[in-house]
Amino acid sequence: MKPAPFDYFAPESVDEVCRLLTEAGGGATLLAGGQTLMPLLALRMSQPFILIDINRIAALKGVTRADGVTRIGPMMRQNEVIADPVLAQAQPLLVTATRHVGHHQTRNRGTIGGSIALGEPAAELPATAVALGASVEVRSTRGSRRIAAEELYFGPYATALEPDELLTAIHVPEWPAGTVWLFREIAQRPGDFGLVGLTGALALKDGRIERAGIAWFGMGPTPIKARQVEAALLGQAIDTLDPRALAELAIADTAPFDDSHASAEYRRTVGKRVFARALSETLNLRAAA
Ligand SMILES: Cc1cc2nc3c(=O)[nH]c(=O)nc-3n(C[C@@H](O)[C@H](O)[C@H](O)COP(=O)(O)OP(=O)(O)OC[C@H]3O[C@@H](n4cnc5c(N)ncnc54)[C@H](O)[C@@H]3O)c2cc1C
């Protein structure tokens, strides 16, 4: 099938995108990597009057670091995220999560901003943004604003982004030295979305957990912050942790569902095991290092 007709624009500045979005009055869609949008257009599940291609805007690319925050341009391709030396040092969890997004070929075009703006509940990057305490910067002709990742997602593909807003940067706090990273994904095949996914960071100091950021993907209608287990982990000495008991709390905030790939019960059972194993392996590895 071919897409329904639309007007195509490829502006070179953020201001121009904002102007076009305002003029379109909700009838425009942004084209980033196209790895989700192009199939939707071809199937006519998306029928914008105007397509705004944001690939020519240099200001939407690149990485900078300042004041303990990494600022990432949304138009960085997922493979650029994986290869970036600054991100390897400053945001290793984000790099690990990106390795699990789709396939090498889709990552050549797919962007970090496209994934975070889309809000697929089983996707790796929105949950990782939530776990790390990231926020997004958005622009429109009405001005700019920041939205915390944990307030960005309302439901599958439903986000706090207004139809006239462009995501212009992702701000990710840098976690302290001594942080360990949790990332586990259970998927049917490599490159598939997660049936059950866990992503998170634990900042350790003197054998205790000083800060915890943990989120699930594939475990509810949005990425889900595991608030209860984060609270239970705070201040705890590592050698007193009981991973199995904590695993019950770890899934307490989730809302697993049945679909054609797995039942809610499967997701709950596997989620608990994934959490317990990730916690014990990660902390043991660190202790052995
Ligand atoms: C075979 C295959 C396997 C895949 N597997 C996975 C997977 O395992 N995990 C995963 O997470 N994804 C997966 N994907 C999707 C992933 O490849 C896409 O990159 C991602 O979902 C969207 O990013 P994109 O840059 O391609 O965005 P596009 O498809 O161009 O856009 C997606 C949506 O985001 C909006 N958007 C994009 N950029 C912005 C912005 N800056 N501001 C506001 N809105 C914006 C668009 O308007 C559109 O609505 C897969 C895709 C394919 C084809």
229 token code pair: 């287990």
Report CA(8)–ligand 1 centroid distance (Å): 19
For residue 176, pLDDT beyond 60: yes
DSSP character at residue 237: B
Instruction: Supply the pLDDT for residue 1.
Output: 76
Mean pLDDT within 41-62: 96
| 281/289 Cα distance (integer angstroms) | 12
When pLDDT is cut at 50, 70 and 90, the band that residue 193 belongs to is confident
Report CA(33)–ligand 1 centroid distance (Å): 6
Structural element, H or E, at residue 224: strand 224-225
Ligand 1 pocket test, candidate residues 106, 162, 165, most atoms within 8 A of CB: 106
Locate the DSSP E strands across 118-195. 135-140, 143-148, 153-155, 158-159, 166-173, 179-186
234 token code pair: 């705070």
Instruction: Supply the pLDDT for residue 144.
Output: 98
Sheet containing 7-9: order of strands: 7-9, 50-53, 28-31
Instruction: Supply the pLDDT for residue 287.
Output: 39
For residue 191, pLDDT beyond 90: no
Q: Give me the chain's average pLDDT, please.
A: 95
**Residues recorded for the chain:** 289
Q: Identify the three-state secondary structure at position 169.
A: strand
Nearest CA to ligand 1 atom 41: 167
Amino acid identity of residue 255, one-letter, is A
Q: Which atom of ligand 1 is nearest to the CA of 125?
A: 11
pLDDT in tens, 262-274: 999 999 999 999 9
Cβ neighbours, 10 Å, residue 207 = 11
Within 13 Å of residue 255, how many CA atoms lie on the same side as its CB?
Answer: 9
Nearest CA to ligand 1 atom 27: 114
Q: How far is CA 204 from the centre of its chain?
A: 23
For residue 28, pLDDT beyond 90: yes
Q: Which atom of ligand 1 is nearest to the CA of 30?
A: 47
- Smallest CA-to-CA distance from 19 within 139, 113, 160 is with 139
For residue 214, pLDDT beyond 50: yes
Nearest CA to ligand 1 atom 37: 114
**Got the DSSP string for 113-145?**
HHHHHHT-TT-HHHHHHHHHT-EEEEEETTEEE
Report CA(154)–ligand 1 centroid distance (Å): 18
- Smallest CA-to-CA distance from 214 within 230, 197, 203 is with 230
Give Cβ neighbours of residue 281 (< 8 Å, ≥ 6 apart). Answer: none
Distances (CA, A) of 209 to 89, 176, 231, 247: 21, 12, 10, 16
Query: Which residue matches tokens 């960005």?
Result: 152
| 103/100 Cα distance (integer angstroms) | 8
Burial of 175 (0-12, 13-18, 19+ CB in 10 A): buried
Q: Give residues (CB < 6 A) around ligand 1.
A: 29-37, 74, 101-103, 106, 110-111, 113-115, 117-118, 120, 123-125, 161, 166-167, 191-193
Mean pLDDT within 12-24: 98
Q: Which atom of ligand 1 is nearest to the CA of 100?
A: 8
pLDDT in tens, 239-288: 999 999 999 999 999 999 999 999 999 999 999 999 999 999 999 734 33
Q: How far is CA 110 from the centre of its chain?
A: 13
Mean pLDDT within 232-242: 95
Strand partners, 173: 69
- Smallest CA-to-CA distance from 136 within 164, 159, 157 is with 159
pLDDT in tens, 104-146: 999 999 999 999 999 999 999 999 999 999 999 999 999 999 9
